[in-house]
């Protein structure tokens, strides 16, 4: 089952959108400190089997710097980060890369396309 923790830089209203797809989803504010460092969010996600949905490019940078192979990260690369605007594209990307998410992947989603790079990043 796909499990996604939504980062603080995205609104909590992502959670019901993701749950409507049958995925387990939580907003970071419901499981951790709102001021937590990115490394703490990544650690929680890895330990709990979640992918991270974020608008923050630092997660990919951390995975690259550490050679991490988990957790998977889904980066929203648009100005409008609300599910009403980009939700269908994020859902399509998660469906498209479902198998890769379970193995470890960095996915970037923008208005034009979704791209995936398997972890660890080289």
Please give the DSSP secondary-structure letter assigned to residue 29.
Answer: G
Distance between CA atoms of residues 59 and 65, nearest Å? 10
pTM of the model: 0.97
Domain with 35 in it = 3-115
Return the pLDDT at 63.
Answer: 94
Report d(CA 54, CA 78) in Å as an integer.
Answer: 11
The answer to the question of residue 9 being in a domain is: yes
Whether residue 121 lies inside any domain: the answer is no
For the chain, how many structural domains are there in total?
1
- Alpha-carbon distance of 89 to 29, in angstroms, equals 24
Q: Is residue 122 part of a domain?
A: no
86 in a structural domain: yes
The pLDDT assigned to 122 comes to 78
Crossing angle of helices 58-66 and 38-48, rounded to 10°: 70
In a domain, 120, yes or no: no
In tens digits, the chain (122 residues) has pLDDT values of: 999 999 999 999 999 999 999 999 999 999 999 999 999 999 999 999 999 999 999 999 999 999 999 999 999 999 999 999 999 999 999 999 999 999 999 999 999 999 999 999 87
């Amino acid at each position: 089952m796909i499990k996604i923790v939504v980062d603080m830089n995205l609104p909590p209203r992502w959670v019901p959108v993701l749950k409507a797809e049958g995925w387990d989803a939580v907003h970071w504010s419901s499981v951790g400190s709102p001021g937590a460092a990115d490394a703490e969010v990544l650690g929680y996600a890895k330990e709990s089997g979640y992918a991270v949905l974020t608008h923050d490019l630092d997660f990919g940078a951390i995975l690259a710097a550490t050679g991490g192979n988990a957790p998977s990260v889904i980066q929203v690369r648009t100005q409008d980060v609300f599910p009403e605007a980009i939700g269908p594209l994020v859902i399509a990307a998660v469906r498209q890369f479902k198998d890769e998410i379970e193995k470890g992947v960095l996915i970037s989603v923008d208005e034009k396309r979704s791209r995936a790079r398997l972890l660890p990043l080289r």
